[in-house]
Amino acid sequence: MTSWVFRAVGVLAILTAVGCTAQFRNHGYVPSEETLQQLKVGVDTRATVDDVIGAPSAAGVLTDGDYYYVRSRVREYGALRPQVVDRQVLAISFNQNDTIANIERFGLEAGQVVPLTRRVTDSSVVGNGFLRQVFGNIGNIDPSGLFGG
């Protein structure tokens, strides 16, 4: 009888320890710095970007908009709320003739968007940035357009 109790307590302890380990989920894709070195600002085009690193998961709101690659790492720990531990956004903007104007990488530090690297021909992402486009469209959604109405 006592050996059965010790086994049950041991199994319960193992299950408790396994249940309290952190689990990590990765979402999205941001190309490596080595891959980005293949792209030249002012020389390469949108088609070259598609060939070298692939089409993005998010593009600018307008047709032929800028490219945005987003990667997030989320930690889940037991019954606690999932927490984003890392987020990177790569923004590639284009000129009117579809050549690369800027390549910028942003991170999320303490809830603030922080530029990590920049290869730009001017001061920032051309036009509205990714976050400005996202937050600028809040409230501008017409529900009738969602259902073909």
Residue 28 pLDDT > 50: yes
Average pLDDT on 40-69 reads: 80
The residue type of 4 is W
Supply the mean pLDDT for the chain. Answer: 76
CA end-to-end span of the chain: 71
pLDDT at 128 over 70: no
Report d(CA 111, CA 28) in Å as an integer: 19
> Which tens digits make up the pLDDT trace of 60-87?
555 567 888 888 888 888 777 888 888 8
Residue 51 has pLDDT above 70, yes or no: yes
Measure the CA–CA gap between 128 and 22, rounded to whole angstroms. 37
